[in-house]
Structure 1
Amino acid sequence: MLVIGRSQVEALLDTDTLIDALAAAMADLSAGRASAPDRVAATVPEQDGLLAAMPGYVPSVGMLMAKLVSLFPRNAGTPLPTHQAVIVVFDPRTGEPAALLDGAAITAARTAACSALSARLLARPDATVLAVLGTGVQARSHARAMCRVRPIRQIRVAGRDQAKAATLAGELAASLEAEVRAVATYAEALDGADIAAAATHAVEPVVRRSWLAPGVHVTSVGFNPAGREVDDATVAEALVCVESRQAALAPFPAGSNDLLAPIRAGVVSAGHVHAELGELVAGTRPGRSSAEQITLYKSVGVSVQDAAAAALVVGAARERGVGERITLG
């Protein structure tokens, strides 16, 4: 069995290649060619946490895998990340365990890359101003990934902790060719933004319709057991896209409070979800219809994303002789 650690995963994954691989994987999922059973989770209510299992098979890349991921929002502000994970890869011909990968690095990369894919499909081509809501791993990954698909010239970072927002802004300014600054509020970050990337554990919405400019593309990836990231008005007005209708509309914690809450309240129906990413990739559903239209990509994470990323990592590791080999049993 090949064991690939976090730093190795990060070195082996190329963002541009990953975005393209995710486009193919999402098209496979929407067309029924990939297998991605509903995520199951054991909840830890006293910590607002959960441990989820996400198996998946993507035949086009020959990847059979399962991810175990823990989501513990209370880790925010501690040395431990809120998302921790491992991925086990199996030989799709025999079922033999073939590789063990750090799943946190893959989760961070594939989540941001799929948001970037949504921006490539839905954001205006001339989008230059990015609002980053949050200050954690996903906020950092999203800022970098969005710059790969749109000509971002200005990035505004906002979070609950202004010191952390300033630190992240400094890190991004040193590595990206864009003006980056921390701002005091989510509303200030969103004012006039062309793309908004929300990656928070918010209780109250950090994306509100009254704060949004016409034509903005919003991505929301936060896990919010006690609340939500996006308000009803934004969901109601936006063209809504998801990875999978089945996954996004499943009961929480598998599905999204951001969509389930307005559906339960009668603000929108389940049919308000306009498209899956794979349908936009394949052209079977239309995307943005005007420059002023607000678009929203709500992510809950599906296993074919991890499978696409794991296929790239394992393939590159084998080519370069990276990773440690161990024998089971």
Structure 2
Amino acid sequence: MLVLGRSQVEALLDLDALIDALATAMADLSAGRASAPDRVAALVPEREGLLAAMPGYVPSAAVLMSKLVSLFPHNAGTPLPTHQALIVVFDPVTGEPAALLDGTAITAARTAACSALSVRLLAREDATVLAVLGTGVQARSHARAICRVRPIRQIRVAGRDPAKAAALAEELSSVLEPDVRAVPTYAEALDGSDIAAATTHSPEPVIRHPWLASGVHITSVGYNPAGREIDDATITRALVCVESRQAALAPFPAGSNDLLSPIRDGLITAEHVHAELGEIISGTKPGRTSPDQITLYKSVGVAVQDAVAAALVVTAARERTIGEEITLR
């Protein structure tokens, strides 16, 4: 069995290839060709955390795998990431365990890559200003990924801690071409931005409709057990897209408070979710219909994303003979 640690996974996973692979995987999921059952989770209420199991099978990528992921939002601001994971890849023909991978790096990369896919599908072609809300792992990953799909010229970083926002802006400036600057508030980051990437655990909405420019595309990936990332006005006015209706509308913590709360309050119905990304890719549902339209991709994460990322890593490792081989007994 192939064993790969975090640094190896990061070196082997090609972000551009991942964005392309996710397009196929999301289309397969929406068409029923891929299997991604509802995740199950053991809750740790005293830490507002959970441990989830996420199996998935994507025939087109010839990958069968399962991820175990812990999500502990109170790790934010500590040396430990909020999401930590392991992935086991199985031979889809025999069921034999084939690889054990660090899943923390894959989770960070595939989440941001699918947000970038949503940008490719839904953001205006001339989008050049990106607001990054949050200062953690996903904020960093989203800045890198979104720059791959739109000609971003300016990135504005905002978070609860101005020092961390400044540090992240300095870090991104050293590796990305756009002008990157930290700003004091979420509202200032969003003012005039073409794309907004919300990556927070904030109990209060960091995306509010009065702060948004006409035609903005929003990606929201935050897990917010005590609240929401997006206010009601934005949800009700936006063209809302998800990875999977079943996943996004499942009871919390599997589903999204950003959608479940306004449904519970009678502001929208489940039909307000316009499309899955795979439906837009396949052409069965339209995407953006006007330059002024606000579009929103609300992510909860689905196993097919981890599956295609793991497949890319394992293939690259086999080609380069990287990793430790062990025999299971």
Partner letter of residue 212 of structure 1?
Answer: L
Deviation at 1:327, TM superposition (A): 1.2
SS in 1 for 2:174: helix
CA RMSD between the two structures: 0.4
SS in 1 for 2:143: helix
Deviation at 1:328, TM superposition (A): 1.3
Partner letter of residue 258 of structure 1?
Answer: D
1-structure distance, mates of 2:217, 2:326: 45
- The residue number in structure 2 matching 1:272 is 272
1-structure distance, mates of 2:283, 2:9: 32
- The residue number in structure 2 matching 1:104 is 104
- The residue number in structure 2 matching 1:37 is 37
SS in 1 for 2:322: coil
- The residue number in structure 1 matching 2:149 is 149
Residue 161 of structure 1 pairs with residue 161 of structure 2 = yes
Partner letter of residue 250 of structure 2?
Answer: A
Partner letter of residue 251 of structure 1?
Answer: P
2-structure distance, mates of 1:252, 1:273: 17
Residue 130 of structure 1 pairs with residue 130 of structure 2 = yes
Deviation at 1:17, TM superposition (A): 0.6
Residue 52 of structure 1 pairs with residue 44 of structure 2 = no
Within a 5 Å distance, the mapping from 1:202-241 to structure 2 comes to 202-241=202-241
1-structure distance, mates of 2:285, 2:277: 9
- The residue number in structure 1 matching 2:261 is 261
Deviation at 1:77, TM superposition (A): 1.0
- The residue number in structure 1 matching 2:244 is 244
2-structure distance, mates of 1:80, 1:17: 28
| Structure 1 gap ranges (5+) | none
SS in 2 for 1:240: strand
- The residue number in structure 2 matching 1:292 is 292
Provide, for residues 33-91 of structure 1, a one-character-per-residue CA deviation record: whole Å limited to 9, x for no partner.
Answer: 00000011000000000000000000001100000000000011111110000000001
- The residue number in structure 2 matching 1:71 is 71
Deviation at 1:157, TM superposition (A): 0.1
SS in 2 for 1:175: coil
Partner letter of residue 13 of structure 2?
Answer: L
2-structure distance, mates of 1:6, 1:294: 37
| Structure 2 gap ranges (5+) | none
SS in 2 for 1:171: helix
- The residue number in structure 2 matching 1:114 is 114
2-structure distance, mates of 1:282, 1:76: 37
Partner letter of residue 192 of structure 1?
Answer: G
Within a 5 Å distance, the mapping from 1:176-215 to structure 2 comes to 176-215=176-215
Deviation at 1:307, TM superposition (A): 0.4
Deviation at 1:136, TM superposition (A): 0.3
1-structure distance, mates of 2:80, 2:68: 17
SS in 2 for 1:296: strand
2-structure distance, mates of 1:194, 1:13: 28
1-structure distance, mates of 2:119, 2:301: 16
2-structure distance, mates of 1:15, 1:82: 21
2-structure distance, mates of 1:154, 1:17: 24
Provide, for residues 272-314 of structure 1, a one-character-per-residue CA deviation record: whole Å limited to 9, x for no partner.
Answer: 0000000011111000000000000000000000001001000
2-structure distance, mates of 1:299, 1:78: 24
Partner letter of residue 292 of structure 1?
Answer: D
- The residue number in structure 2 matching 1:328 is 328
Provide, for residues 3-53 of structure 1, a one-character-per-residue CA deviation record: whole Å limited to 9, x for no partner.
Answer: 011111111111111000000000000000000000110000000000000
SS in 1 for 2:313: helix
2-structure distance, mates of 1:8, 1:161: 31
Partner letter of residue 307 of structure 2?
Answer: A
**Runs of 4+ residues deviating >6 angstroms:** none
2-structure distance, mates of 1:295, 1:169: 26
1-structure distance, mates of 2:39, 2:238: 26
SS in 2 for 1:150: coil
SS in 2 for 1:26: helix
- Percent identity among equivalent residues? 81
Provide, for residues 166-219 of structure 1, a one-character-per-residue CA deviation record: whole Å limited to 9, x for no partner.
Answer: 000000011111000000000000000000000000100000001000000000
